[in-house]
């Protein structure tokens, strides 16, 4: 390649004098060729103009330095605010650079005093345009790394705040900084963190969320991985919980994975996280537990472990509807449980037809979301009745 030393000092001075006009022409050409450039506000257009001027003017010191030891990232891109990186994408920056280099290649070689100098200028500009492209890529890569590190810190702070039960307002400001909608329905999933460290675990969640078109924030808390899911289509959801996205369980290490209930907003995320972690703590007492499992399916275990929230949930969601029903559902349930969930003897003890008992049991299922023919749900119904009657007895005693 032609060495920049073949370009005389006088020619470089002519190029230097022409740089301002060439930059103005380049900006005018950007306005003509690039429709998106015309829509930029005045301040952002001025930033681009600064970069264009620096890009063309930067050729002179670059050529004089014989193409070495000159940081184009500072010389060219250091003239504009860092906000420009958020406004103009790397792809658009390449379009801008291409226009500026086209203008330079069209006019600068003609400033050579001889044909040899014109050729040297053209070859030198070719190398310079390559260096400008590398410098742009370096600037955007550094910005992406910085932004990624900042996002990771904010994301970790959001997850930590959810786990600790921070107020919704402080959580919302952090979540908004991540572009995360803090008002929609959310669900928290907890399990052991996979091998490989915190960064690889979070990266895996991010890649999975992108490929599944989901919105998540996640964090590693000690040995646990916490994932907060938001704005996904929970089609197929029912009383037993949502249909979770495919592949969610693969993000966790070995052992149980538990999700809390769907809850609205960041305040709901706090309660969903509390339920998920409470379920995770007692998951070892359920052999053969599905993965993932709902914290609602671990209510009995949570009650036995002293979880007052779980006990209150059973009283409110299971016992209270049965006690308030016009049909004697509590009496029906008592007989059904007393006879070991056997239909015929329970019906005889109540002096009703077995079909009547079946109807009542279906009503119990509809009201509570618990299946009287499912052994685990039978345990939930039994514990809920005990808790409800204990609370009623305590209330009567205190009065």
How many alpha carbons fall within 13 Å on the CB side of residue 211?
10
For the ranges 32-36, 75-79, 207-211, 304-308, the maximum mean pLDDT occurs at 304-308
Q: What is the pLDDT of residue 239?
A: 42
Is the pLDDT at 270 greater than 80? The verdict is yes
**One-character DSSP codes across 49-88:** HHHHHHHHHTHHHHHHTTT-S--HHHHTGGGS-THHHHHS
Which residue has 């370009």 as its token pair?
7
Euclidean distance between CA atoms 180 and 159, whole angstroms: 12
DSSP-derived secondary structure letter, 287: T
- Residue 38 binned pLDDT confidence (cut-offs 50, 70, 90): confident
Is the pLDDT at 142 greater than 70? The verdict is no
Is the pLDDT at 317 greater than 70? The verdict is yes
Residues 108/94/50/134 CA torsion (nearest 10 deg): -80
Residue 162 near residue 260, CB atoms below 8 Å: no
Q: What is the pLDDT of residue 30?
A: 85
Euclidean distance between CA atoms 274 and 190, whole angstroms: 10
Q: What is the pLDDT of residue 238?
A: 42
Phi, psi of 127 (to 5 degrees): -70, -40
Cα 348 versus chain centre, distance: 56
- Which of 86, 98, 124 is CA-nearest to residue 30? 98
Which residue has 């053969």 as its token pair?
288
Euclidean distance between CA atoms 372 and 395, whole angstroms: 28
Phi, psi of 255 (to 5 degrees): 95, -175
Kindly list the distances between the CA atom of residue 336 and the CA atoms of 159, 183, 345, 375, 376, in Å, as whole numbers in the listed order: 44, 43, 8, 13, 15
- The stretch 381-388 carries a mean pLDDT of 95
- Residue 90 binned pLDDT confidence (cut-offs 50, 70, 90): low
Kindly state the percentage of the chain with pLDDT values over 70: 81
Tens digits of residue pLDDT in 174-215: 666 566 666 778 899 999 999 888 888 888 888 898 888 888
Tens digits of residue pLDDT in 5-32: 477 888 888 888 888 888 888 888 888 8
Is the pLDDT at 34 greater than 90? The verdict is no
Kindly list the distances between the CA atom of residue 374 and the CA atoms of 162, 341, 356, 361, 381, in Å, as whole numbers in the listed order: 34, 10, 19, 12, 10
Q: What is the pLDDT of residue 135?
A: 74
Q: What is the pLDDT of residue 244?
A: 82
Kindly state the percentage of the chain with pLDDT values over 90: 34
Euclidean distance between CA atoms 171 and 371, whole angstroms: 38
Q: What is the mean pLDDT of the chain?
A: 81
Euclidean distance between CA atoms 216 and 272, whole angstroms: 14
Cα 283 versus chain centre, distance: 26
Is the pLDDT at 169 greater than 80? The verdict is no
């Amino acid at each position: 390649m032609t060495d920049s030393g073949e370009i005389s000092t006088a020619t470089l001075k002519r190029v230097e004098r022409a740089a301002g006009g060439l930059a103005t022409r380049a900006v005018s050409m950007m306005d003509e060729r690039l429709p998106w450039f015309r829509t930029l506000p005045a301040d952002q257009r001025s930033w681009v103009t600064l970069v264009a001027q620096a890009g063309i003017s930067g050729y002179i010191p670059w050529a004089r330095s014989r193409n070495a030891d000159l940081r184009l990232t500072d010389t060219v891109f250091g003239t504009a605010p860092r906000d420009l990186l958020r406004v103009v994408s790397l792809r658009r920056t390449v379009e801008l650079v291409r226009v500026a280099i086209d203008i330079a290649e069209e006019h600068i070689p003609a400033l050579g005093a001889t044909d040899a100098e014109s050729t040297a200028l053209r070859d030198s500009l070719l190398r310079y345009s390559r260096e400008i492209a590398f410098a742009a890529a370096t600037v955007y890569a550094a910005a992406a790394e910085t932004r990624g590190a900042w996002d990771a810190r904010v994301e970790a702070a959001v997850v930590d705040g959810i786990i600790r039960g921070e107020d919704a307002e402080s959580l919302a400001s952090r979540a908004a900084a991540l572009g995360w909608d803090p008002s929609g329905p959310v669900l928290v999933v907890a399990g052991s963190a996979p091998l490989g460290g915190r960064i690889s675990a979070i990266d895996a969640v991010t890649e999975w969320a992108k490929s599944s078109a989901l919105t998540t924030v996640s964090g590693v808390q000690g040995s646990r991985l916490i994932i907060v899911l938001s704005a996904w289509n929970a089609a197929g959801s029912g009383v037993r919980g949502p249909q979770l996205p495919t592949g969610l369980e693969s993000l966790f290490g070995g052992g149980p994975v538990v999700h809390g209930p769907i809850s609205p907003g960041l305040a709901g995320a706090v309660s969903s996280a509390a339920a998920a972690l409470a379920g995770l703590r007692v998951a070892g007492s359920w052999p053969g537990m599905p993965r993932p499992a709902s914290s609602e399916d671990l209510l009995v275990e949570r009650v036995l472990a002293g979880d007052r929230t779980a006990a209150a949930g059973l009283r409110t969601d299971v016992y209270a509807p049965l006690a308030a029903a016009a049909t004697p559902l509590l009496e029906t349930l008592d007989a059904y449980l007393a006879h070991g969930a056997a239909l015929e003897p329970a019906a005889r003890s109540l002096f009703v037809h077995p079909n009547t008992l079946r109807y009542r049991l279906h009503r119990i299922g509809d009201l509570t979301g618990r299946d009287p023919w499912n052994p685990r749900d039978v345990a939930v119904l039994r514990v809920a009745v005990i808790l409800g009657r204990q609370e009623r007895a305590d209330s009567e005693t205190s009065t």
